[in-house]
Amino acid sequence: MNVVRARDLDLNLLRVLVAVSDTGSVTKAAAGLYLTQSAVSAALARLSESLDTPMLVRHGRGAILTSRAARLVTEVRPLLEAMLQAALAPARFDPRTSERIIRLGLSDFSDEWLLPPLLRRLGRDAPKMRLVCTPVQFRTVVDALATRRVDLAATVIDKLPQTLLRTPLIRGHFVCLFDPRHVRLGARPSKRTYLAQEHVIVSYNGDLRGTVEDRYGVERRVRCSVASFSAIGAIVDGSPLVATLPEVFAAQLLRQRPHLRSAPFPFAHRAGGMDLLWPAALDEDDACAFVRAAIIDIARQVPATS
């Protein structure tokens, strides 16, 4: 990209691009922005020149966004919304009257223990605030926070850049979840007994390797790999498969399916858990701080075991 052109980029042009994307039409976008059609076309042409890439391509009798333009819309939309909220926000935050939209990134399974009590609390203390929840995990959360696709995130992650802050939410160990009608694992399984079982794992890589293989250099007999914890309870229930998962997740599944059982994970490991993450730039944002405090208080009340 030409550096001079990028420096002179008019951010209003991005607003026009988003409007065209939302309406699917230059004509409709012009009406919504109270501009002429030629003004919208000229704005898109200026944006194409500034970024040195076309924004529209011919399609039939009309035009559609290029793939580069579509990606740009995805990136800039939350930033433009945040700028609009910042401009319209009252000087003093009052949860009883605030209409802020908080974008919350949630890792697998955290929506089940967090969202119901959080929504009840907001309904009581901040009835006009709203949430937009987005799935995140350790591979995607840093980018989601950095680009402001989310304002806060609850997930598991090790290292963070200095631009992001964290506070612990839930701490615990790994446990084995199984159906005692089909698996003889015992109250405290040995490594040999554990490895002799067939397993279902959660893999964000879409393969048959999980945290156990990567951290401990062992190979489990993996029968099935899934992309999230949401189906683990149903898969384990009535099957000879063993799942290894954080004890807070296991505790929730055991409350839903009390005939299942859990046992300690036989490999030595430090307690880990889920953290609440947010950009340092939002550390003093009163609305975000209000929601953070609510999430932290809810996490304190989550039992680690059934």
Mean pLDDT of the chain: 89
| pLDDT at residue 90, as a whole number | 64
CB 197 within 8 A of CB 191: no
Which residue spans within the chain are E strands per DSSP?
56-59, 62-65, 101-106, 130-135, 152-155, 164-172, 174-178, 198-202, 221-226, 241-246, 261-264, 272-279
SS3 154: strand
pLDDT of residue 304: 52
Report the percentage of the chain scoring pLDDT > 90: 49
Q: What is the pLDDT of residues 207-221, one digit of tens each?
A: 899 889 988 999 999
What pLDDT is recorded for position 85? 76
CA distance 236 to 95: 43
The residue behind tokens 């399916």 is 257
H-state helical runs in 126-279 = 141-146, 191-196, 211-216, 232-236, 247-256
* pLDDT one digit per residue (tens) for the chain, 306 residues: 444 455 567 878 888 898 888 888 888 888 888 889 898 889 888 888 888 889 888 776 667 889 888 888 888 888 888 777 777 766 688 999 999 999 999 988 888 889 999 999 999 999 999 999 999 988 899 999 998 899 999 998 888 999 999 999 998 899 999 999 999 998 999 999 999 999 999 988 888 998 899 889 999 999 999 988 889 999 999 999 999 998 888 988 999 999 999 999 999 998 888 999 999 999 989 999 999 999 999 999 876 543
Task: Give the pTM.
Answer: 0.67
Q: What is the pLDDT of residue 196?
A: 96
Strands (DSSP E) along 164-290, which ranges?
164-172, 174-178, 198-202, 221-226, 241-246, 261-264, 272-279
